[in-house]
Each structure stands twice: as structure tokens, then as C-alpha cells.
């Protein structure tokens, strides 16, 4: 796919089915992630990949995290099934380090770019994805269960797979509404 066509037509796929990205595709997707702008080359990221049995493990971590907030059984059942909405879920983590010139915000932005690059790579490979967050991204129990440190932040859960439906490409947005010139 032409790069400009990718940038102008990329869209999310909320409904994803198997197959998940294969090993070669996943390698391409992760390689795109770590190619993004990274001030001072801090590599401030970690990608926790769940597929197969890993999806149930991630679901159990979601349940534990939600139970710690006092959720009821029906919410916990929903949490258990959340990762099953795609054949692969990558938890995208900002591993923030102290740096004199690179504040945490810039490190978060770099990891956001990585998340976006992965979705774009998946799209270019004919796969689909959607970037989700929700309260779980900020849940301290989930952070602890995933082995994250105090300053780490989940930037997103990138759901990846094959689009269940071929959605029509959304109409082009007009940049003129959001730009001004000096």
C-alpha cells in the first residue's frame, strides 16, 4: 500500500476475528513501533503481547483489577471477555525514565506514536486494529499484576486481528477547519 494512501485511509476496526497477525507480521508491526520518534533514544516502551491462552490470562488480570475496585459479578464477567474481542491484544506500556531533557509527557507521546505506528502497520498488512484504553489503563492493580513500576503508564490496549467486516473507508476529513496560518 502506498504510504500516503495508508495515512489518508487508515481507520479502526472494532470487530476483529482470527487470524491474528502471524509471527512475521507481528515482527513487522513491532518493528514499526520502535521506529517512531524517540527523544534521546530512551526506548521508553514495552509491548505485552497476548494471543491464544494469553487472552484468557489478560482477561483474568482485568477481572482482578476490576474486582479490586469493588465491581459486581456481571462487570467481572464482561472484563474476563474483553480481550476475546480480538485474536491478539498488545498492551502498550510507557516505561518512563527520569531524564533531564525528556519529561514524562514526551515519553508518553513517543509511546502513543508507537501505538499508532502499529495500527498503521497492521492496516497496511491488510489486518485491522483498534486502540482502546478505558479505566483499566489507569488501574494500579492491573499495573502491579503486569509488573509495571510506579511511573509506568498503559498507553493503550491495541486490539489486532482480521476485520470481521470490510467497512467502507470513512469520508475524507477537511483539515481546513482546524488549521490557521500566521
Ligand X SMILES: Cc1cc2nc3c(=O)[nH]c(=O)nc-3n(C[C@H](O)[C@H](O)[C@H](O)COP(=O)(O)O)c2cc1C
Binding positions for ligand X, rule: CB under 6 A: 11-12, 130-134, 156
Beta carbon nearer to ligand X, 38 or 159? 159
In angstroms, give the least distance from the CB of 155 to ligand X: 7
Beta carbon nearer to ligand X, 96 or 130? 130
Of the candidates 7, 9, 5, 16, the residue with the CA atom closest to the CA atom of residue 131: 16
**Which residue is at the shortest CB distance from ligand X?**
11
In angstroms, give the least distance from the CB of 181 to ligand X: 26
In angstroms, give the least distance from the CB of 38 to ligand X: 18
Taking the CA atoms of residue 69, residue 143, residue 157 and residue 70 in that order, the dihedral angle to the nearest 10 degrees is -10
CA distance 55 to 36: 27
Beta carbon nearer to ligand X, 40 or 104? 104
Which residues in the chain belong to E strands, given as ranges? 16-17, 45-51, 88-94, 128-132, 153-163
In angstroms, give the least distance from the CB of 161 to ligand X: 14
CA distance 66 to 54: 18
CA distance 97 to 133: 22
Beta carbon nearer to ligand X, 55 or 136? 136
Amino acid at each position: 500500500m502506498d504510504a500516503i494512501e495508508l495515512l489518508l485511509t487508515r481507520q479502526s476496526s472494532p470487530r476483529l476475528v482470527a487470524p491474528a497477525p502471524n509471527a512475521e507480521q507481528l515482527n513487522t508491526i513491532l518493528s514499526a513501533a520502535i521506529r517512531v520518534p524517540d527523544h534521546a533514544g530512551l526506548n521508553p516502551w514495552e509491548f505485552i503481547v497476548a494471543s491464544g491462552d494469553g487472552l484468557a490470562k489478560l482477561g483474568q488480570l482485568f477481572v482482578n483489577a476490576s474486582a479490586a475496585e469493588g465491581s459486581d459479578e456481571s462487570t467481572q464477567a464482561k472484563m474476563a471477555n474483553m480481550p476475546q474481542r480480538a485474536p491478539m491484544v498488545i498492551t502498550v506500556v510507557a516505561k518512563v525514565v527520569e531524564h533531564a531533557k525528556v519529561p514524562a509527557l514526551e515519553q508518553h507521546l513517543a509511546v502513543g506514536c508507537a501505538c499508532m505506528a502499529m495500527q498503521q502497520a497492521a492496516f497496511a498488512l491488510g489486518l485491522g486494529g483498534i486502540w482502546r484504553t478505558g479505566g483499566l489503563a489507569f488501574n494500579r492493580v492491573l499495573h502491579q499484576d503486569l509488573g509495571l513500576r510506579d511511573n509506568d503508564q498503559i498507553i493503550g490496549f491495541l486490539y489486532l486481528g482480521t476485520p470481521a467486516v470490510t467497512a467502507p473507508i470513512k469520508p475524507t476529513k477537511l483539515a481546513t477547519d482546524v488549521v490557521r496560518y500566521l
